[in-house]
Chain A
């Protein structure tokens, strides 16, 4: 009897533990529908695995809204930013989106995870509500339709320049460690990087999938180290970044690493010296050496206002809001409807707008194209990597 009770307890415990691990929390704040206020709903992964970056996206968006409101708003109307936590969970994100499209928001903004954005974009398009996505670099989001935009350049576009730079430094082979539960990482690991490597004549020695929630990376790290690559792509996120890099070093791999902008925003700090010579492309880095003026002025103004340096995520959140603000400015004192916002966004996308991530931020097929910068972690801090093309993304100036 006692064993049966324990077994039952055990099963219940396992279920509860799994549910606890799977669930996050959500909440909202603010929001009003007064005539002299333009409401914006910002759905962001501010808890769960994406919180590491999602919170910074929100911080950047709030900063932008505060700046705009401090200057009198748009067309005499103040902005009201309602933040909803999607908890890095697709169901929560879809639920928040379904609610947001029925609200009186002039547009819905979202950051961060690709799988969530992919599920949310069709809802926005069907409901004819302007939807501006940050990060979420996977294909298929803006393809949902003309109400959907992405203000972050897909990182895959930067990879050719990054791999070319590493190739020029003598790398002729690469291994890839990637988060198999992140669609962007899967695309980059299985399509983008192999295609670029082939073009450059680089060999891929191993491609190893891992899960973001894993804590022990010793086996994948051993497999990669055993294949003796010159460089390793680390396409993991959040806490996994430090753990996987540490495991690679422990397994005997001492060469350069490269990866996504997820390696930024302080993610390499806990890894410290172990992550020395890690490269990643980014749409923004808080460095006065950033090669576009609107980026360095955003850096100094953000620092002055908040007392801390903005991450690439904060720059991304800022630019989502500023893209919408540029559209609202086009509407001026006219009626702000979902359709008028959509038309104004199309007009701004055609011309580009001045953002923290580019001057201007350009658009191709409703997805942003920005210059980008190759970042190197020197063991203590992020620096603008030497000997890189400017802009990093050749397509930004029509060269690629």
Chain B
């Protein structure tokens, strides 16, 4: 049982990093970004290419490069696709639907490029990048990679919550999310903040991708797909925009999945996440921890 708790915490940490980026772009930009999983995958490819062409770089440098690469990719996506679509849409619902479809197209392009680049085969970051160590503590196996993933999730979640709640930019983002026009009237540049939100979202996806590739031992072009579905489950359970809710439900879903996977088998594990979505949508459509949107986070 203790071993399963360790496994659940590691998995929940990856879910957390992935879900926070998605809820950020959804909460601020009203973009349900289905390309978030593709950016997550692109992050692993940035890291892989860097280690291929510059062997011997420290892990922190590779992680930082993937973070920057993923952030830039997300900004590019926002500037080239999402922002123009929002500008040309008649109302918020139209904009949300159109950007949703655009994000499917962008995801497809990114996944195809990563697939071609990897020759449609799994690829792994060099083992020398982060030597794996396994510690046996009272019969429980814990690895340095699991500890790293947990620390990254705690630190980045805390920083994001502090940024959103306490910083001037965070408050400005909330203002833009609440009423873009009114925010503009008081001198807040919605355009800049939207780009910043996408960059932050992309950076989180890139970090999550690299950490997952290290944790699993390999990555492939489609690795973001299954996490995207899990992130939907988490955000629906938490309610769109609830950062603390996303963190809580990321770990809760991971725990339930881990216990179900261990005791009942992998066959029913994934189905459970979607049974939960349906139940929550029926009983409480706004999510279990929703607080009326990201703007009030």
Contacts and interface: CB of A to CB of B under 8 A. Distances in A.
A215 B223 contact: yes
A194 B34 CA distance: 43
Nearest to B217: A246
Given A10-B32, A211-B270, A17 B229 contact: yes
Interface of B: 3-4, 7, 10-11, 32, 34, 92-93, 96-97, 100-101, 104, 107-108, 115, 119-124, 127, 132, 134, 136, 141, 143, 146, 212, 216-220, 222-223, 225-229, 232, 235-236, 240, 257-258, 261-262, 265-267, 269-270, 277, 281, 285-286, 290, 293
Interface string A1-18: 011111101111110111
Contacts of A216: 11, 216, 257, 261
A225 B7 CA distance: 14
A180 B124 contact: no
Q: Please give me the 6 A-B residue pairs with the lowest Cβ-Cβ distance, nearest first.
A: A246-B217, A270-B124, A219-B261, A242-B218, A218-B7, A239-B122
A249 B108 CA distance: 34
Nearest to B97: A9
Given A13-B34, A16-B100, A209-B265, A218 B122 contact: no
A271 interface: yes
A51 B120 contact: yes
Interface in A230-268: 238-239, 241-243, 245-247, 249-252, 266-267
A360 interface: no
Nearest to B285: A7
A195 interface: no
A47 B221 CA distance: 11
B232 A10 contact: yes
Nearest to A22: B225
Interface of A: 2-7, 9-14, 16-18, 20-21, 47, 49, 51-52, 55, 180, 208-211, 213-220, 222-223, 225-226, 238-239, 241-243, 245-247, 249-252, 266-267, 269-274
Contact of A21 (B143, B229, B261): B229
A222 B7 contact: yes
Among B7, B229, B267, chain A packs the most CB atoms within 10 A around the CB of B7
Given A20-B34, A242-B124, A250-B141, A215 B227 contact: yes
A242 B108 CA distance: 24
B104 A14 contact: no
A20 B141 contact: no
Nearest to A273: B127
Given A6-B240, A51-B120, A271-B218, A12 B141 contact: no
A52 B120 contact: yes
B218 A270 contact: yes
B286 A246 contact: no
28 contacts: A3-B285, A3-B286, A9-B100, A14-B229, A18-B229, A21-B222, A21-B226, A51-B120, A210-B266, A211-B266, A211-B267, A215-B226, A216-B257, A218-B258, A219-B266, A219-B269, A220-B265, A222-B3, A226-B3, A238-B220, A242-B124, A246-B217, A247-B216, A250-B143, A252-B141, A266-B121, A270-B218, A271-B124
Contacts of B136: 252
A216 B3 CA distance: 15
Which of B93, B120, B218, B220 is most buried by chain A, counting CB atoms within 10 A of its CB?
B218
A17 B35 CA distance: 10
Given A5-B93, A215-B226, A209 B104 contact: no
Contacts of A7: 281, 285
B217 A274 contact: yes
Given A238-B122, A252-B134, 18 more contacts: A3-B285, A10-B232, A10-B240, A11-B281, A16-B34, A17-B229, A47-B120, A211-B266, A213-B222, A214-B270, A216-B216, A220-B262, A220-B265, A222-B7, A238-B220, A241-B122, A242-B217, A270-B217
B106 to A, nearest CB: 12
Contacts, number: 161
A283 B217 CA distance: 27
A6 B226 CA distance: 21
Report which residue of A20, A180, A241, A272 has the largest number of chain B beta carbons within 10 angstroms of its beta carbon. Answer: A20
A239 B223 contact: yes
A17 B232 contact: yes
B4 A219 contact: yes
B216 A246 contact: yes
Contacts of B222: 21, 49, 213, 239
A214 B32 CA distance: 23
A21 B265 contact: no
Contacts of B240: 6, 10
B107 A243 contact: no
B104 A267 contact: no
B225 A20 contact: yes
A239 B222 CA distance: 10
B259 to A, nearest CB: 8
B287 to A, nearest CB: 9
B268 to A, nearest CB: 10
Contacts of A218: 7, 10-11, 258
A180 B124 CA distance: 25
Given A9-B32, A17-B225, A272 B124 contact: yes
A285 to B, nearest CB: 18
A239 B220 contact: yes
Contacts of B11: 216, 218
Contact of B123 (A12, A217, A270, A274): A270
Contact of B108 (A20, A223, A225, A241): A20
